[in-house]
Amino acid sequence: MRFLWLAVLVFALPAHAADLTKLRVTIPVPLISVYPLMVAQDQGFFAKEGYDVEIISTNGDGPDVDALISGSVDFTVSTPNRLMTAYEQGKPLLAAMNVLNRMTLDCTLNKASAEKAGITPAMSLDDKLKRLRGMTLAGTRPGAATYLLAEYYARRAGLEPQKDVTIVGIGGPSAMVPAVENGRVDVVCGASPVPEFPIYHGKGVALTDNTGGGDPVFDDMLWELLYVRPDMAKNDPEKIRRVVRAMVAAIHWIHVTTPEGQLPEMRERFTGTPDDLLVSILQNSLSAFKEGGTITQTEVDKASAFLLKTNSIAKAPPWNAVATNEFNVP
């Protein structure tokens, strides 16, 4: 029951659904990083704009954007890796808004692995990273942002991936949490509540706190974005404006509503997560949800820098070739 919320998300239609236009949106996994999308649906912000949204989890990033490129869905909310690689491959997509302007992926160590390596909470992040030698680090799948973060941290510590450390893809959160708790891998990297569960259960220790701003490298960054196809941008700009407006309203609701006031929403979406953990996660994540959702050149450049360092792209794209604020209007 703890991971019931990990299933593909297909939601019940409201009573007036016949009057709403159906939209399909893919996400990598139903985690806190896509919480504004859930809020926009559940709190009626999409309905106000005339839409009912079906949210489809693809159990890792990659297939989510593939679905958008193929035209089988209308939008994607995901991390920026495919935005940059698609541009490099001549299949450009557009970021229409920035949902999160900070990296919100974090890595958690198996408690026994941390003790064996002599890793303590008082150590700096860079000192902790140097002690990962010989460990197995896990993301969802090769090429996914979770996997790239593990590669990035290995290289930052001067370790060679697949030689000094092993990096594997093990699937979604329902696989990641027990894997690190049971010691099948030493480290998992993922979005909340994946990193927090092992710590909450007393079986893990935090390696990073990117979500809370612990690594300034990842501040002011294009991280969780609303993807659109260029053909929709040209042929149906009003649809994008309405979806952006709903998402912006959802982020504002998240900021002005107390964590306790959001518990009914969060319980519905993250079934089986204890209330105190939900409140803690929301409080730590809150500053990353970007009010207004506009995209800056700095944010795009920092996302490009991360992908350059993981050898995901050969060259950073011009920021205005992959991002636009055209649809972010009142």
Q: Per residue of the chain (330 residues), give pLDDT as tens.
A: 344 344 333 344 444 556 899 999 999 988 899 999 999 999 999 999 999 999 999 877 788 999 999 999 999 999 999 999 999 999 899 999 999 999 999 999 999 999 999 999 899 999 999 999 999 999 998 988 999 999 999 999 999 999 999 999 998 888 999 999 999 999 999 999 999 999 999 999 999 999 999 999 999 999 999 999 999 999 999 999 999 999 999 999 999 999 999 999 999 999 889 999 999 999 999 999 999 999 999 999 999 999 999 999 999 999 999 999 999 876
Q: How many domains does the chain have?
A: 2
Q: Is residue 203 part of a domain?
A: yes
Residues 255 and 305 in one domain: yes
Asked whether 205 and 187 are in contact (CB, 8 A), the reply is no
Q: CA angle, corner 167, sides to 164 and 168, nearest 5? A: 150
pLDDT for the residue 62:
83
Predicted local distance difference test score (pLDDT) of residue 16: 55
Question: Which among 136, 296, 160, 298 has a CA at the least distance from the CA of 217?
Answer: 298
199 and 259 assigned to the same domain: no
Dihedrals phi, psi of 76, to nearest 5 degrees: -135, 140
Domain assignment of residue 43, yes or no? yes
275 and 232, same domain (yes or no): yes
Please give the full DSSP string across 57-75, using - where no structure is assigned: E-SSTTHHHHHHHHTSSSE
Say whether both 242 and 205 belong to one domain: no
Q: How many CB atoms lie within 10 A of CB 294?
A: 15
Answer whether residue 275 is part of any domain.
Answer: yes
Residue 167 domain boundaries: 105-209
Q: Which of 191, 209, 227 is the last residue of a domain?
A: 209
Query: Is 23 within the bounds of a domain?
Result: yes
Q: Is residue 327 assigned to a domain?
A: no
Six-digit token string for 120: 């303590």
- The verdict on 153 and 188 lying in the same domain is yes
Q: What pLDDT is attached to residue 330?
A: 65
Q: Which of 101, 87, 31 is nearest to 281 (CA)?
A: 31
Q: Are strands 21-27 and 51-57 parallel, antiparallel or unpaired?
A: parallel
The CATH number for 138's domain is: 3.40.190.10
Residue 329 within a domain: no
Q: In 3D, which of 309, 30, 54 has the Cα closest to residue 191?
A: 30
Residue 41 placed within a domain? yes
Sheet holding 105-110, edge to edge: 166-169, 136-139, 187-191, 105-110, 204-206
Asked, for residue 330, whether it belongs to a domain, the answer is no
* Residue 266, phi then psi, degrees to nearest 5: -70, -35
Domain identity same for 59 and 200: no
